Amino acid sequence: MKITEQVWQLAEPLVRQNGCELWDVEYVREGGEWFLRLYLDKDGGVNIDDCEAVSRAVDPLLDEYDPIPDSYHFEVCSAGLERVLKRPADFERFLGAAVLVKLYRPKNGCKEFAGVLTGYHDGDVTVTVGNSSLTFEKSEVALVRLRVEF
């Protein structure tokens, strides 16, 4: 089982006990150091107190079960307004929302498309850009994130 899956299983009950939803778990190497990040969500938004409470609840459990062999920095943060959509449930939840789709290679001369998420099926993403509906295959899509419009 991957480290992120193990951490998810350990952390999720404690995150829920603290009134939040676990949005994502990330274990990445940055600048030669490892970082374990929990991203939280909740109705009305996540604040610093939520992050601190979850951190204090999860940290001892990570020490006890020790799912990560390397030395790492542990961070708990908000998923943010412009969060990345990864799982099918994320796409279903945000149908009709403004998104930014980034592609691996240009399509029609562009690698980024800003529009409204209008469909998701087996990894394929459909967005409406202006009057056009565009569908991108899973293999084309590097990233889909929510987009805040001002």
**Tell me, what CATH number does 112's domain have?**
2.30.30.100
C-alpha 110/C-alpha 103 separation (Å) is 8
Final residue in a domain of this structure, among 48, 78, 108: 78
Average pLDDT over residues 106-111: 93
95, 74: one domain: no
C-alpha 70/C-alpha 109 separation (Å) is 42
119, 72: one domain: no
Is the pLDDT reported for residue 150 higher than 90? Answer: no
6-56 pLDDT per residue, tens: 999 999 999 999 999 999 999 999 999 999 999 999 999 999 999 999 999
Residue 46 lies in a domain: yes
Q: How confident is the model at residue 1 (pLDDT cuts 50, 70, 90)?
A: confident
Please report, for the domain that includes residue 34, its CATH number: 3.30.300.70
Sheet containing 132-136: which strands, arranged edge to edge?
A: 132-136, 124-129, 110-121, 98-107, 141-146
C-alpha 2/C-alpha 68 separation (Å) is 10
63, 113: one domain: no
User: How far apart, in Å, do the first and last CA atoms of the chain sit?
Assistant: 41
61, 114: one domain: no
69, 94: one domain: no
Domain span at residue 48 reads 3-78
40, 106: one domain: no
Domain count, the chain: 2
Contact 30, 43 (CB under 8 A): no
Average pLDDT over residues 95-122: 96
127, 99: one domain: yes
Q: How confident is the model at residue 108 (pLDDT cuts 50, 70, 90)?
A: confident
Residue 13 lies in a domain: yes
125-149 pLDDT per residue, tens: 999 999 999 999 999 999 999 999 8
21, 41: one domain: yes
Residue 93 lies in a domain: yes
